[in-house]
Amino acid sequence: MPGIKDVAERAGLSVATVSRALSGKGNVSTRSRERAQAAAAELGFVLSYHASSLASGRNHNVGLVVPSVHRWFFSSVVEGVSATLLDAGYDLTLYNVSEGQERRHSVLNDFLLRKRVDAVIAVSLELSEAEIQQLLAIHRPIVGIGGPLPGASTIRIDDSGIAQAAARHLIQLGHSKIAHMTGDAAYEKDFRLPGTRQGGFKKAMKDAGLAVRPEWQVSADFTIQGAYASARQLLGGPVERPTAVFAASDEMAIGTILAARDFGLRVPYDLSVIGIDGHELGEVFGLTTIDQDARGQGALAVRRLLAGLDGVGDPGAADAEFPTRFVIRSSTAVPPVDSVPLR
Amino acid sequence: MPGIKDVAERAGLSVATVSRALSGKGNVSTRSRERAQAAAAELGFVLSYHASSLASGRNHNVGLVVPSVHRWFFSSVVEGVSATLLDAGYDLTLYNVSEGQERRHSVLNDFLLRKRVDAVIAVSLELSEAEIQQLLAIHRPIVGIGGPLPGASTIRIDDSGIAQAAARHLIQLGHSKIAHMTGDAAYEKDFRLPGTRQGGFKKAMKDAGLAVRPEWQVSADFTIQGAYASARQLLGGPVERPTAVFAASDEMAIGTILAARDFGLRVPYDLSVIGIDGHELGEVFGLTTIDQDARGQGALAVRRLLAGLDGVGDPGAADAEFPTRFVIRSSTAVPPVDSVPLR
DNA sequence: ATCACAACTGCAAGCGCTTCCAAAGTATAC
DNA sequence: GTATACTTTGGAAGCGCTTGCAGTTGTGAT
């Protein structure tokens, strides 16, 4: 493999000049730059990543920690992050820490302390204050998406607010028998979102003077199949059937719709369903939802980090609330006539 | 940040010994090892990734190139690769090259030639012979999953064989009016699979003396929503309706089932549907399918690479045919009575 | 022509480790 | 007790770049 020395020799320049020419930093005459580039091209030379990183202290590499890559939100964020990073010439080191907590810690130690990454994006992961301080101490900016990160910069949507909006939408249509499907407790550890959305739902119900019936509070694991199973219990069980379901994610809303169909329930005539996400499948199901642009959130996270790395601005612990968009389709409507109180 | 020197000093050892103690290579007395580890722990020291890589030439980093992270097959492979790599103490650098070919080339140059990775896993990407040679020339083992990689090691399923098996399953049930939903031409560039599965389908039909009707050959983009749209055309259009659909992926099979339901067709009584994949959602839809363990394929790819890197064995251009499993559920049955020729 | 200043360029000192080599210590064999 | 082989250690030379510093050259102003 050719080294920068070979390039320098061939171009009739010093190693230093070639380095500057190739990296674009520092002053180099056009002539030298062209020579260096030509020589590099002829030799098929590319700067060694590790040598550059070691010498310069910059990695051009961002770590992305996600709990899963299968669920819609996460894979969407990954896509957004990946595309933005690639455009900026950065590498993405992916840490899928699905399988438990021990691994998470070793991951953090390993790639943060070993300074392989310039920055970290943590998705729906609840880092401890200590972990965050550790990161900030070694000047590794960190931004969180979809989870509270005390002391760090975060990007999030107004979970409580949109949950309220979703519930209000149903209430305004005339529903009073509204069920809520929230995320599983299993996820609550790292993922406070279920609680937040649930809180918003309860608030909206309370505000409207409606009862939050415990038997209509169900949970699932954020997947279609998990929600399908839960919804079958809810809709096919012995308890009175709600006229509307607010699911904390589109995937769960879709699972609910599938379960409803199994029971011959027509959506929205017999059952209204609303989700949160903006999942690509929403259109197929005519799903009313609140669109959170997950790709966009990933992209924004990257832009924020890079601004802090390349530029001067340190965004600090700035919290950005990402905008959402209410998308009304055909899965929500007025409740069935026989369930509306006659006037 | 403490360096290895500080650790050496604190432990009363030389830098060399500490390096050996911490990396586990070479002979170090138990006493020295413990001292070194203790000192490192006290100082919160971790070896610098780049310095180690530069000095040793080993990266402990594998590049994974995928065309997407959203579609089931790819995200499953990513999970399998990620978990196996993490267990082995390797990093995963993810390259999502969805947006076109130019990017792909810059990616290859960038991370292959810059030797940031020890090996490459390419999923459903068709690298040119030149690209592969380039990789092998610099001793970067490469394994392909789900795509032909001339000269490189690959892991793949018997696409033609399972397509034949799927078609035969329908034929044996008594179907003769069988449609096939294949992958879009847009993917054929990098992804020869659609053609291969289609070939298997045609062969099975021919072998059974059945006609492959062009109007029943439709395509979609491998997504549920894409397949849904195509299936609506197929099932709701003016052409005679088939009694069975063989979709080249589970996601497309599911899209087809959803479309069928829209038209009031009961699966499997009015329409049989079979897919390929082993998608988690298959169970919800009672989908008959051929399970290819995508996670397992990813894991196997990693194990193969690591064997080549750590051990002595160079697997060379060994092609592994990954086993698949026929999963019969409730989406396939005998054709509707009125369409079976009376005897 | 002279001077001040900016734009280039090259030298060489690292960046923080790994590993070759030789020396020292220790166990085993005769 | 000595020779032989193996284990353990430290010194020091890199790995392949980047960058501070100082020297060289070119420019416009005087």
- B80-138 pLDDT per residue, tens: 999 999 888 888 999 888 766 566 666 666 666 676 788 889 998 877 777 777 777 77
Answer yes or no: is A56 within a domain: no
Measured CA to CA, the distance from residue A274 to residue A282 in angstroms comes to 10
Residue B166 shares a structural domain with residue B281: yes
- For residues A65 and A97, the answer to whether their CB atoms sit within 8 Å is yes
Residue A135 shares a structural domain with residue A165: no
- For residues B188 and B194, the answer to whether their CB atoms sit within 8 Å is yes
The domain tally of chain A equals: 3
Residue B11 shares a structural domain with residue B77: no
- For residues A170 and A210, the answer to whether their CB atoms sit within 8 Å is no
Answer yes or no: is A267 within a domain: yes
Residues in chain B with pLDDT values less than 70: 99-113, 115, 185-194, 310-317, 339-343
Per-residue pLDDT, A188? 46
Answer yes or no: is B55 within a domain: no
Residue A147 shares a structural domain with residue A279: no
Residue A172 shares a structural domain with residue A221: yes
Distances (CA, A) of A51 to A47, A48, B115, B141, B205: 8, 5, 10, 22, 58
Residues of B within 8 A of A96 (CB-CB) are 78-79, 82-83, 86
- Residue B86: CATH number of its domain: 3.40.50.2300
Residue B179 shares a structural domain with residue B268: yes
Residues of A within 8 A of B261 (CB-CB) are 261
Angle between helix B72-87 and B294-310 (nearest 10): 40
Which nucleotide comes closest to B31 if you measure CA to C1'? Answer: D8
Answer yes or no: is B112 within a domain: yes
Of the candidates B152, B158, B156, B91, the residue with the CA atom closest to the CA atom of residue B308: B152
- For B49-54, the CB contacts below 8 A with 24+ separation are B49/A111, B49/A114, B49/A115, B49/A116, B50/A50, B50/A53, B50/A54, B50/A59, B50/A115, B50/A116, B51/A54, B52/B23, B53/A50, B54/A48, B54/A50, B54/A51, B54/A54
Which of residues 281 through 340 in chain B touch A, CB cutoff 8 A?
A: 281, 283-284
Per-residue pLDDT, B100? 60
Residues of A within 8 A of B46 (CB-CB) are 109-110, 113-114
Answer yes or no: is B56 within a domain: no
Residue B254 shares a structural domain with residue B270: yes
- Which of B4, B7, B48, B50 is most worth mutating to test chain A (most A CB atoms within 10 A of its CB)? B50
Answer yes or no: is B186 within a domain: yes
Residues of B within 8 A of A115 (CB-CB) are 1, 48-50
Which of residues 220 through 259 in chain B touch A, CB cutoff 8 A?
A: 223-225, 228, 255, 258
Residues 6+ apart with CB under 8 A from B102: none
Beta strands in chain A (DSSP E): 61-66, 91-96, 119-123, 142-145, 153-156, 178-183, 217-220, 244-247, 272-277, 288-292, 319-321, 324-327
Residue A219 shares a structural domain with residue A333: yes
- Is the Cβ pair B48, A59 closer than 8 Å? no
Residue B196 shares a structural domain with residue B266: yes
* Tens-binned pLDDT, residue by residue, of chain A (343 aa): 789 999 999 999 999 999 999 988 888 999 999 999 999 999 988 888 899 999 998 888 899 989 889 899 999 999 999 999 988 888 899 988 876 656 666 666 666 667 678 888 999 887 777 777 777 777 778 889 987 777 788 998 999 999 999 999 999 999 999 999 998 866 545 556 667 899 999 999 999 999 999 999 999 999 999 999 999 999 998 989 999 999 999 999 999 999 999 999 999 999 999 999 999 999 999 999 999 999 999 999 999 888 877 654 555 557 789 999 999 999 999 999 875 554 4
The Cα of B252 is separated from the nearest Cα of chain A by a number of Å equal to: 12
The Cα of B90 is separated from the nearest Cα of chain A by a number of Å equal to: 10
Of the candidates B312, B326, B301, B304, the residue with the CA atom closest to the CA atom of residue B74: B301
Residue at token pair 């020291």: B45
Residue B101 shares a structural domain with residue B195: no
Structural domain for B11, as ranges: 4-47
Answer yes or no: is B54 within a domain: no
Residue A204 shares a structural domain with residue A332: yes
Q: Which residue of B has its CA nearest to A232?
A: B284
Q: Which residue of A has its CA nearest to B50?
A: A50
Residue B300 shares a structural domain with residue B313: yes
Which of B49, B69, B116 is closest, CB to CB, to A115? B49
Answer yes or no: is B67 within a domain: yes
- Which of B1, B85, B96, B277 is most worth mutating to test chain A (most A CB atoms within 10 A of its CB)? B96
Please report, rounded to whole angstroms, the spatial distance between the CA atom of protein residue B10 and the C1' atom of nucleotide D9.
16
- For residues A62 and A283, the answer to whether their CB atoms sit within 8 Å is no
pTM, two decimal places: 0.90
CB atoms under 10 Å from CB of B248, counted, come to 28
